[in-house]
Structure 1
Amino acid sequence: MERFVTVKPKNELIATYISYYYFHEADEADPNRGFVFYPHFKHGFTAYKTENSIITRYTMNYDRQIRVELPEPFQKLGVAFHPLGINHFISEPVQKLHHKETLEFSHWNPDIYPELDEIFQAGNPEQKRDLLDQLFEKRFRINPDLNITQQAIGHIFSSFGTIQVDELAEKIGVNRKTLLRHFRKHLDCSIEEYKKVVKFRTSIQAAINMGMKNLTEVSLYSLYYDQSDFTNRFKELTGQTPGNFFSSVQKMGEEDIFWKFDG
């Protein structure tokens, strides 16, 4: 049997930086079990528990489709961080900790493993949530270096990803070089990459969460230049046309998780 559930943090401080947790598990092996996930402006920390080990990963995915295979019985927990959320729980810039190809993340190891094992053994999602809240509260730290990047993100979202870099720098009151350096340091991507993902996820929200059925309406709401631009950007990020993408993905839980499963 396979189970999936999402739950919000209960701790108010942690909820400021973490959007939600999810718990995914399967009791039986399935050699065909696998899925693809797509770019997002939220970052994800995941931990997998198999019979012999716990494996941790951290995903900052701005530009590609990533396939996950889960053939063996497993327990998995996921943490979806709000933009810049992870930066309040680490002691180094995320740019230094992120391994784009392997997704390896060992910053909190090995002391985090006993805590993760306790979470995996907890009886229900609410207990797991409370333990995760405690795990992150212990690691919380103030990071005053995020102000410039935080302001930039706010303007990018309010403009649906259409604001230009020079205008962004002017609104914040810094020069272009400083803005680009802070953005790369704390998000490990360019502003243009981030803008593309914001528009992409805005269109998903419009089509699925807001119930917009007409793809032209979705593209206009998301402020794409025209239908061709909308289609090209979707192909770039998902390898599919918007129509094929929306007909193939499955929403998981109650949050913004959209996976494409095999078969």
Structure 2
Amino acid sequence: MAITAAQVKELRESTGAGMMDAKKALTETDGDMQAAVDWLRTKGLAKAAKKSGRTAAEGLVAVKVDGNVGVAVELNSETDFVAKNAEFQSLIRDVADVAVHQPDVAALAEADMGGKKVKDVITDAIAKIGENMTLRRMERLEGDNVTAYVHNAAADGMGKIGVLVAFKGDDAATARQIAMHIAAIAPAALDENSLDPAVMEKEKAVQMDIARESGKPEQVIEKMIDGRMNKWLSEVTLVNQAFVVNPDLTVGQAAKEAGIELQGFVRVVVGEGIEVEKEDFAAEVAKAAGKG
């Protein structure tokens, strides 16, 4: 299949690979973006298998804790200007208050809020504020205790990143520091047992391919894989990550010293995974002039 310049650009942005390497990776994998990332990693040509970061949706995440239940609700808007609007902030705060009693976002949309369904209240707000809004998602977390943290706070309890941490024990201050760590470092899972086995197998396969490129004996490769997988786990699992507050300890060690047991976490980022199509400036000018 023909590989487009846009595909090459996207792969380069997500991996840091050179233009020709990115094009070859896409050609070798028939344009499959994720397979191309893996191909580059196998060849040692990808700086990191990071996401492109092209998340353009605006809005806020509101967090709310009620007893041993915490929720994080994402309400999207078209512009950051509206997200800073007091009415928008009041709306998402009220929605979060309702959310603590709901199991998921579908139920939340249908739930009662002041005599109307949440979805209808949002529709009314769209008409009043004049900008589209979307109740995108809701994450719910339960535990012995739950603490919440927002990063880039726009107002109390709402910001661009919302984190919930469930824990057993009394040291809420350490739990909050761990929530701040999660906001900054973005672990993929609590521990090895919480990781999707398919993700583990995929990473192991990629590391195996990388190791085999070295041409070393199979028994040496097996040892290499063990070391690389342990390093990978220390990067993606919360309890094995170096604690940002005290890098001499892992998060798991810090929790143990504080006498708390981590039970789970949720991290929600505004616009995560949403891409908004953008035209380049010349195309916009041409379109405005009636030439596009």
Normalised by the size of structure 1, how large is the TM-score?
0.27
Q: Which has the higher contact order (CA 8 A, sep 6+)?
A: 1
Normalised by the size of structure 2, how large is the TM-score?
0.26
Q: Mark the structure with the bigger radius of gyration.
A: 2
